[in-house]
Amino acid sequence: MKLITILGARPQFIKAAAVSRALRDEHKGTIDEIIVHTGQHYDQNMSGVFFEELDIPKPGFNLEVSGGSHGAMTGRMLEGVEKVLLQEKPDWVLIYGDTNSTLAGALAAAKLHIPVAHVEAGLRSFNMRMPEEINRILSDRISTLLFCPTDAAVANLKHEGIVDSVHNIGDVMYDVALFYRERARKQSTSLRDLGLTEGEFALATCHRAENTDDPERLGAIIGALAEIATQLPVILPLHPRTRKLLADYGMNQKLGGIRLTDPLPFLDMVALEQAARLVLTDSGGVQKEAFFYGVPCITMREETEWVETVEAGANQLVGASRDAILNAFEIAMRQGQPNIKAMPYGQGDAAVRIANLIAQH
């Protein structure tokens, strides 16, 4: 069986590491995986280092599509993926998550009548202003196999009338967290390099368009982080696009004591997530990683696809209000580590279950 995997963004590389490993370990000689990198995340820190650190097979194709509007980017990816599929004639196409790369891969395959398997199917923010929400809804509608990470995701699909070939296999990110957490502790030098002490700093990320493209929201977030930095060191790894927008908006002078870094390699990020006193983010993946490592999280969005983290009391949703972020910070500092009694994201075997279900089909 020939399987084409479509990847383009940092979170997809992380999930693919687990599934690609399972495909090699469980079905070597029966499933031939070819990776197509769209190029959506293209520099070394956002892409290349992930393939090296996570031992992901080298991409068979790199489309080098990056930059531009959502429509332009998706269109160029669709054209490039279609050419690869016509050349390789795979039996299946595997997609991850909710990016433009995901949608382009799903559309190209569906139009060529190639079955699609979607990892992280069924997630919903119920916010149609998010490009990711549109991508995931459309991808789910044209997928043949839908791999859901939670019961809530299965329920979302059922509400939309999608019940066939829907599988709750757990969260691949939990597999990754279990596999790499000790390796990150042993191999990463990020704490020493940044002069940090475990449990005595906050780790922040901010990259979603709803926050970065709105000067008022971004200004409120930066203002809150700068205030927090007067009480607790704040480390903010920045996507190149967000760094540029800060300069364009004239906000660099508002950073105060926030310590900016370039995007961090995966193992360094995992090491910091585990060691942080607190995580503040608008990233879905970072929310969950904080949850896996028992670190309190403040999510700077109006909603989350990962409702289980909020229900467990480990994650506070605050939007982009400076006062709400600071209030949540005070609550998190008083409460300390969340008491997580149950893991709603499976048993850490999601990747193996995905590999086996693909093989069965």
Question: What is the CA angle 279-46-317, rounded to 5?
Answer: 25
112 by Cβ neighbours in 10 Å (0-12 / 13-18 / 19+) ranks as middle
| Contact yes or no for 14/173 (Cβ under 8 A) | yes
Nearest residue to 38 (alpha-carbon basis) of 124, 133, 91, 107: 107
91 by Cβ neighbours in 10 Å (0-12 / 13-18 / 19+) ranks as middle
CA gap 86, 216 in Å, rounded: 46
**Tokens linked to 173:** 């990110």
**Tokens linked to 198:** 């475990």
Nearest residue to 290 (alpha-carbon basis) of 255, 314, 311: 314
Three-state SS annotation for 127-177? CCCCHHHHHHHHHHHCCCEEEECCHHHHHHHHHCCCCCCEEECCCHHHHHH
- Mark whether 118 is an active-site residue: no
Alpha helices by DSSP H, the chain: 10-27, 49-53, 70-88, 100-111, 131-141, 151-159, 172-187, 190-193, 209-212, 215-228, 240-248, 266-275, 284-292, 307-311, 322-335, 350-360
Catalytic: which of 41, 159, 207, 239? Answer: 207
Does an H or E element contain 259, and which?
Answer: strand 259-261
Q: How far is CA 261 from CA 236, 251, 290, in A?
A: 6, 16, 19
Amino acid making up residue 64: E
CA gap 320, 298 in Å, rounded: 11
Q: Looking at the annotation, which residues are catalytic?
A: 207
